[in-house]
Amino acid sequence: MTLSHAHSPHPVEGVEQNGFHSGTFDMLATSVLLLDERWYLRAINLAGESLFDASASRAVGESLEQLAQLDNDWRELLTQAQAEDCPVVRRGIVLLLRSGLQQAVDLTISPVAHDSGVYLLLELTTVDRLYAISEGENLWASQESLRQIIKGLAHEVKNPLGGIRGAAQLLSKELANQGLAEYTEIIMAEADRLRTLVDKMLGPREKLDLRATNIHQITEHVRQLIEAESQGEVDIARDYDPGLPEFLTDKDQLTQVLLNITRNAWQAVGPSGHITLRTRSRRQYTLGGHRHKLVCAIEIFDDGPGVPKDIMPQLFLPMVTGRANGTGLGLSIAQMIANRHGGLIQCHSEPGATVFTLLLPMET
Ligand SMILES: Nc1ncnc2c1ncn2[C@@H]1O[C@H](COP(=O)(O)OP(=O)(O)OP(=O)(O)O)[C@@H](O)[C@H]1O
Ligand SMILES: [Mg+2]
């Protein structure tokens, strides 16, 4: 197969699936697809496989319509590029994936001349991904300053608290009227409650105990715990990538992270709702200022009412809750632990579709 740019007399080398798949195209964070004149897939790079959740070996030979639902906008752009033989660019066009998920992408379609007609080279950059990086970086920075504030505050609160508790204890022994002991007890109990609260806000004290872990051991454990906690009321579906390699994590602390998020999902959906745990790898992803070759994404989907809009901007701050009896610590602790692993938790939520994504670097 010889290909050349419509306007260039030079053949384009290495665009066939073999060269395409193992070559430089796989290093790209942009998804690249080559379609023939009937919009059947001739080649796809790794980022494309991950976007469409399809392997090249299966997808090549399928029509684009089998990979995603094409609406009129898409058809028009593809037809236009082919008919006018000139590149077409569209920002933020929505791609409806086979899984039912919608993904906004920036799209460039370049016509490529071929013996049998005009082929199309598609470049797709997911908009959320760019957004997620900058949003993630902001989140990361704000978490760091938050940790400093909590540390300072905890110190200021805990010192006098010790004094107050000690004084109340002494006082209770000296009381002539034991009927007043009830009050010193209240002082001590409240001092203890405050201390526990501050300790919780600080997150787990234990250093990370990093060991090579299969992430699915943790997700399975969490799934069983929540199913037991809800006494079988909630059924948690799984969509795992079995090919994920083991990587270094603190199993207990990550269990806490996923438990906090999944428990929230259960509390949000109630008995008739659906929760799905999904694992995938993502390539070339920036976390905390570091670009990682491979990142593990653990997504917790639920079809509940969504995170209340008014708390969304502060969702990961301590004491932010939308529940009457919530302490608002679950997500802030989870975020803290994720950060300690060099990772991050993000949330996208709308009524009927909430997803919390835990991203962890997988340096192997
Ligand atoms: N999956 C979800 N769907 C809808 N709202 C959610 C979801 N996850 C979290 N929330 C909202 O975010 C709030 C904060 O969650 P977080 O876990 O930090 O605290 P909490 O659940 O209120 O209390 P706790 O400390 O007991 O976990 C919740 O109160 C809830 O309003
Ligand atoms: Mg919670």
214-225 confidence digits (pLDDT tens)? 999 999 999 999
* Spatial distance between the Cα atoms of 347 and 349, rounded to a whole number of angstroms: 6
Q: Whose CA is nearest to atom 8 of ligand 1?
A: 264
In a domain, 164, yes or no: no
Distance 5 CA to ligand 1 centre (A): 53
Instruction: Looking at the CA of 318, name the nearest ligand.
Output: 1
Residues with CB under 6 A from ligand 1: 260, 264-265, 268, 302, 304, 306-308, 311, 315, 320-323, 326-332, 354
In a domain, 146, yes or no: no
Distance 65 CA to ligand 2 centre (A): 40
* Residue 209 CA, distance from chain mean position: 23
Q: Is the pLDDT of residue 133 over 80?
A: no
Q: Whose CA is nearest to atom 14 of ligand 1?
A: 321
Q: What is the atom index within ligand 1 of the atom nearest the CA of 333?
A: 18
359 in the same domain as 210? yes
Domain count, the chain: 2
- pLDDT at position 37: 93
* Residue 281 CA, distance from chain mean position: 11
Of the pLDDT bands very low, low, confident and very high (cuts 50, 70, 90), residue 18 is: very low
Of the pLDDT bands very low, low, confident and very high (cuts 50, 70, 90), residue 101 is: confident
Among the ranges given (132-136, 234-238, 275-279), the one the predictor scored with the smallest mean pLDDT: 132-136
Instruction: Looking at the CA of 319, name the nearest ligand.
Output: 1
**Which of 269, 331, 336, 348 has the most ligand 1 atoms within 8 A of CB, as the residue to mutate?**
331
Residue of 158, 153, 150 lying closest to 196 (CA atoms): 158
Distance 333 CA to ligand 2 centre (A): 10
Of the pLDDT bands very low, low, confident and very high (cuts 50, 70, 90), residue 137 is: low
Strand partners, 285: 292
110 in the same domain as 221? no
Q: What is the atom index within ligand 1 of the atom nearest the CA of 356?
A: 1
- pLDDT at position 203: 79
- pLDDT at position 290: 79
Contact by Cβ (8 Å): 334, 139: no
237 in the same domain as 328? yes
* Spatial distance between the Cα atoms of 332 and 200, rounded to a whole number of angstroms: 10
Distance 232 CA to ligand 1 centre (A): 21
**Which of 299, 323, 349 has the most ligand 1 atoms within 8 A of CB, as the residue to mutate?**
323
Q: What is the mean pLDDT of residues 185-213?
A: 89
Contact by Cβ (8 Å): 143, 119: no
CATH number of the domain within which 46 lies: 3.30.450.20
Distance 330 CA to ligand 1 centre (A): 7
- pLDDT at position 20: 60
Among residues 85, 109, 127, the one where a domain terminates is 127
Question: What is the amino acid identity at position 288?
Answer: G
| Strand order from edge to edge, sheet including 275-287 | 236-239, 275-287, 290-302, 353-361, 344-350
- pLDDT at position 114: 86
Distance 358 CA to ligand 1 centre (A): 16
Mean pLDDT of the chain: 86
pTM: 0.65
Distance 215 CA to ligand 2 centre (A): 22
- pLDDT at position 288: 74
Q: Is the pLDDT of residue 129 over 60?
A: no
CATH number of the domain within which 248 lies: 3.30.565.10
Rounded to 5°, the CA angle 133-352-132 comes to: 0
The SS3 of residue 213 is strand
In a domain, 52, yes or no: yes
Residue 241 has which token pair? 């990538």
**Which of 229, 264, 312 has the most ligand 1 atoms within 8 A of CB, as the residue to mutate?**
264
120 in the same domain as 215? no
Instruction: Looking at the CA of 329, name the nearest ligand.
Output: 1
How would you classify the pairing of strands 3-5 and 102-114? Answer: antiparallel
- pLDDT at position 240: 96
Q: Is the pLDDT of residue 11 over 50?
A: no
75-84 confidence digits (pLDDT tens): 999 999 999 8
Distance 325 CA to ligand 2 centre (A): 10
Among residues 127, 153, 185, the one where a domain terminates is 127
In a domain, 51, yes or no: yes
241 in the same domain as 338? yes
Classify the C-alpha dihedral 298-141-351-94 as positive or negative. negative
Give Cβ neighbours of residue 45 (< 8 Å, ≥ 6 apart). 20, 21, 25, 26, 28, 31, 32, 33
Among residues 99, 127, 155, the one where a domain terminates is 127
214 in the same domain as 116? no
Instruction: Looking at the CA of 332, name the nearest ligand.
Output: 1
Residue of 111, 98, 14 lying closest to 64 (CA atoms): 98
Query: Domain span at residue 254?
Result: 206-364
How would you classify the pairing of strands 275-287 and 236-239? Answer: parallel
In a domain, 147, yes or no: no
Of the pLDDT bands very low, low, confident and very high (cuts 50, 70, 90), residue 9 is: very low
Select the more confidently predicted residue: 260 or 201. Answer: 260
Contact by Cβ (8 Å): 260, 331: yes
352 in the same domain as 216? yes
237 in the same domain as 359? yes
